[in-house]
Amino acid sequence: MHLFSAHMFQMASERQTILKDSKSILPVSFVSFNSRWGAAVCAQTQQSKNPTLWLTNWAPEPRDIYWRNLAIPFMSLTVRKLVISVTVFALVFFYMIPIAFVQSLANLEGLEKVAPFLRPVIEL
């Protein structure tokens, strides 16, 4: 019984510490279920009319969570994904065109078509 009361005291003091620090309170939660069936139903059911209000996913391993990212709002994540997608598209698009042009110059026939004044040097 003594261990139980010490554990409860430790939990109460930890709760007070967390409530005092505003950065510790996050708009996320982890829920555990008594059965796999309950967890499966919850993960596949829309919990609210607003789909961004409650997002349900299968729980990752605790060591797989980057805890600081839990405080990032959903809309911010969406904007970040969009920015990354546009950036990757721009890099690929503006990288592939110059590379394709330089590659066309790599063979001698392509170089003769682009720079006919180099023909005497190429034919040597």
Query: Regarding predicted confidence, which is higher, 3 or 123?
Result: 123
Domain residue limits, the chain: 72-124
Using CA atoms, how far apart are residues 57 and 60, in angstroms rounded to an integer? 9
pTM for the structure as a whole = 0.42
- Is the predicted pLDDT of residue 81 greater than 80, yes or no? yes
Block residue for tokens 């961004």: 52
Q: What is the pLDDT of residue 83?
A: 97
CA distance 120 to 51: 69
Q: pLDDT digit string (tens) for 28-45?
A: 667 778 888 887 887 777
